[in-house]
Amino acid sequence: MAVEVRIPTILRPYTGGEKVVTAEGASLQELIANLDATYAGIGERLVDESGLRRFVNVYLNDEDVRFLDGLATEVTEGDSVTILPAVAGG
């Protein structure tokens, strides 16, 4: 099932400058794997061995996936995924 994914400025070099792309998968994890298959290298900017990177926010529709099931969050046709790097520092 195809899901729309919004890509932040910093990751657009991976998508050839595209701001919105489509990806497939039944869960966020599958979706990210599918994204990485199309746009090599983008996956490791989003996840590491322990899961979603701490300073990357991923939203399913309006909800931060950390408050859903993280990488296991189910994704269905017509959903929209937004990736935003945290705005943070010291």
First to last CA, the chain: 40
Of the pair 24, 85, the CB lying nearest another protein is at 85
Of the pair 26, 67, the CB lying nearest another protein is at 67
Hey, which residues between 12 and 71 contact another protein (CB under 8 A)? 55, 57, 59, 62, 64, 66
Of the pair 8, 22, the CB lying nearest another protein is at 8
The whole-angstrom separation of Cα 31 and Cα 67 is 18
Q: Is there a contact between 10 and 85 (Cβ–Cβ < 8 Å)?
A: yes
Type of residue at 7: I
Nearest to 46 by CA among 32, 61, 65: 32
> What is the smallest separation between the CB atom of 52 and another protein, expressed in angstroms?
12
Site residues (vs another protein, CB under 8 A): 8-10, 55, 57, 59, 62, 64, 66, 82, 84-90
